[in-house]
Chain A
């Protein structure tokens, strides 16, 4: 049980606000829905309406078709604003004489006051008392579950349940019946039985941040929050959507040939042909990398460093240029950032000894300000102490060594030696066993050079389906 001191109520789903407005309009004594009396054995309870009345009223008020009116009415019933009296478990609007009634505002569906476990437990306890232990299956299960889950307040649950029943006895019989029906309807909406659709389930996207209708006194805190919010909003970086989209399109154009789903993977998609060659050829440490992989190293510095093979090749290059200590320093900082907590002091010490101390064997060239700050930070070791220096070296490598790497002979020779794996040859016989072709990948149909593969798939289908006329390649 958490206490939110001055906690803000959560936002209300917008559709619920609209439904509530509609319900209030329905109450108009002149223009609203026609009311009848519900006649039980002894008691007469007012304010009942038939499903037909509701549908008629909706049609008249909003000039919509009957189908739409029925759908709208169904939505209102499902969300618990109107509940059926004859068949309470079935939250459906029937356009006939079946009676319905409005739900009291306390029990209106609301995302601001979610139905808590405690309330549900009290309701089940009350029902238990009234029905002398004869609860429905799923309610029994929930009851036992709640007893375990909120065991520390169970005594309160029992006390409150008894008191609420005693308080209810002070009212007229008709009102008692109405209150029971209301509560039952409320819990049918908020804790639907298994198998029934749950209206309260909503994804994160559907929550709009509408402010709550009731604002508690606009005191200093409220205005402070507003100022903070506006300040942050002004300081946000804004990029024109055209520029964003351009960047997005460029990224996609660059990466499309490399995407195994969009452009097919050579030699073949292991998921379809059960052939692991694709994965073994693109393993992190391989003798000769594939051409696509080497090309990717040219896209950005992070791609190069992110690939183990690329990083190794880059290290080779830097060794030739006598600036390998930069990459070693960067790697050591990565180890510090993502390594074990117990080794932090040790790693930091070794970094200092090897890279930062004046006269160290592999001294890195950092500007004096960053060096000062880093040396200060050494006194309080934690994993992000080297961040400034690491970023400095990273940018240095990116601006200086990386372009030279791309223009170097080493890289060019790598490109030349890189292999393009050949596509799998058509196999005539073994297709009978394995080719479960669920759906042709878009790559196979769109790739201009993909006809051999399309042909392979066709051949695979012939014994299973009707014979397909062979395509001319």
Chain B
């Protein structure tokens, strides 16, 4: 069904935009590296591909006059979500350009900001690119080389958005959100379970977890008491 396909494409774009933002956050900090810049580049290109796919699909549907009214309203809602996503992506790309210029990586005099982040962003990038592991194959000065491409891509995105605005006539204010305030909490039940699962997996890795130690101590104490009682019972009977 066309609706499902559109939704899936939009979800994918949304995911990539979130991951991209997450990575732009890290530029200029101590977790910044050539790998990060390469990840940014790859994510950005993926985002653009998805954006073009989304645009083509949605414009195709919106131009189609045989679509029913409810469907059309739904597609307009998807269109508004899509254009907002593109706006966020464009702003993040501009910021990435600015930050990239300010924090070049191979200049010894320019220090990176000590933000407290020490881990890498390869997990985020892998999520964005929908792969298991990221492969890094770029040159050692990608941070400088990439900026020119980034500029071009920003212009491209800007033009695309302008075209979108001109060609498709969907006034944003006519779209009503489906979600009520607080809707994001409803699905947190499933989210909460998965997040708990993640946290417990992590905590197993660290040895000095006080709560687990306490639980272990109490359990073993109870066990010892039970054994003692059983022995007494056996002895006295």
Contacts and interface: CB of A to CB of B under 8 A. Distances in A.
A75 interface: no
A164 B21 contact: yes
Contacts of B99: 105-106
A30 to B, nearest CB: 10
Interface string A188-204: 00000000000000000
27 contacts: A1-B84, A3-B87, A3-B162, A24-B113, A27-B114, A102-B114, A104-B115, A105-B29, A106-B95, A106-B99, A125-B184, A128-B184, A128-B185, A143-B181, A152-B172, A152-B174, A156-B80, A162-B184, A162-B187, A163-B15, A164-B22, A165-B191, A167-B18, A169-B198, A172-B119, A174-B116, A214-B101
Contacts of A27: 111-114
User: Interface range on chain A: under 10, 10 to 19, 20 to 34, or 35 or more?
Assistant: 35 or more
B221 interface: no
User: Interface range on chain B: under 10, 10 to 19, 20 to 34, or 35 or more?
Assistant: 35 or more
Nearest to B102: A105
Contact of A159 (B81, B103, B128, B192): B81
Interface in A1-58: 1, 3, 5-6, 9, 23-24, 27-29, 32, 35, 38, 41-42, 45-48
Chain B interface main SS type = helix
A216 B151 contact: yes
Nearest to A20: B102
B28 A170 contact: no
Interface of B: 11, 14-15, 17-19, 21-22, 24-31, 77, 80-81, 83-85, 87-88, 91, 94-95, 97-99, 101-103, 110-119, 121, 123-124, 126-128, 151, 154-155, 158-159, 161-162, 165, 172-185, 187-188, 191-192, 195, 198, 202-203, 206, 208-210
A158 interface: yes
Contact of A106 (B24, B101, B188): B24
Given A103-B115, A153-B80, A167 B173 contact: no
A186 B118 CA distance: 20
Nearest to B10: A159
A106 B25 contact: yes
A79 interface: no
Given A118-B84, A173-B202, A217-B151, 13 more contacts: A29-B111, A42-B208, A48-B116, A106-B25, A106-B99, A151-B176, A153-B172, A155-B77, A156-B80, A158-B179, A159-B81, A167-B22, A168-B22
A325 B202 CA distance: 95
A122 B190 CA distance: 20
Interface of A: 1, 3, 5-6, 9, 23-24, 27-29, 32, 35, 38, 41-42, 45-48, 101-107, 112-113, 118, 125, 128-129, 132-133, 143-144, 147, 151-156, 158-175, 178-179, 182, 213-214, 216-217
B117 A175 contact: yes
Contacts of A133: 182, 185
Contact of B177 (A38, A45, A152): A152
B182 A47 contact: no
A247 to B, nearest CB: 46
Contacts of B115: 47, 101-104, 178, 182
A198 B178 CA distance: 34
Contact of A6 (B91, B158, B179, B187): B158
A129 B115 CA distance: 25
